[in-house]
Amino acid sequence: MATLDTDSADVKRQKNIYEDLGMGFVVDLAMGATKFVTAVERTISGLRKSNQLVGETPEARAWLKENQPPKGWMMKLQKILLHVLLSNKRKLLTKLVCITTA
């Protein structure tokens, strides 16, 4: 929030307090969202490496090979989830900025 030369000391102080409150919340929210996205990525990559079906018989291995999911489906899911998270964060930040500047 911009302070004007014509603002009194109390008004300047009030504007600075509101700006600090809003920016502090936004920074904390961004840090939390970053940690969350990183944790989701690590979890998904760990699951991708650990959860693999292995057939014990030749018939089971043939069935698994025929019925495996298409290549790249996990990356598509990650992109969709990341897009949803970022769009919701943008909406929340836009609302927050509107509230703090009002």
Question: What was the pLDDT predicted at 98?
Answer: 60
Q: Which of 41-55, 65-79, 83-97 has the lowest mean pLDDT?
A: 83-97
Instruction: Flag whether 77 is in a domain.
Output: yes
What residue numbers bound the domain in which 71 lies?
A: 9-101
Instruction: Flag whether 91 is in a domain.
Output: yes
**pLDDT band at residue 57 under the 50/70/90 scheme:** very high
Instruction: Flag whether 18 is in a domain.
Output: yes
Instruction: Flag whether 2 is in a domain.
Output: no
Residue 96 has pLDDT above 90, yes or no: no
- The tokens describing 27, both together, are 């920074």
Instruction: Flag whether 61 is in a domain.
Output: yes
The residue with tokens 């009002």 is 102
Question: What was the pLDDT predicted at 84?
Answer: 75
Average pLDDT over residues 60-78: 79
Domain count, the chain: 1
Phi then psi for 67, rounded to 5 degrees? -110, 20
- Which amino acid does the sequence have at 101? T
Residue 101 has pLDDT above 60, yes or no: no
Instruction: Flag whether 4 is in a domain.
Output: no
Instruction: Flag whether 3 is in a domain.
Output: no
Average pLDDT over residues 8-36: 83
Average pLDDT over residues 10-25: 82
DSSP string across the chain: ----TTS-HHHHHHHHHHHHHHHHHHHHHHHHHHHHHHHHHHHHHHHHHH-----SSHHHHHHHHHTPPPTTHHHHHHHHHHHHHHHHHHHHHHHHHHHHH-
* Gap between the terminal Cα atoms of the chain: 10
Q: When comparing pLDDT for 62 and 19, which is higher?
A: 62
Instruction: Flag whether 1 is in a domain.
Output: no
Average pLDDT over residues 62-77: 78
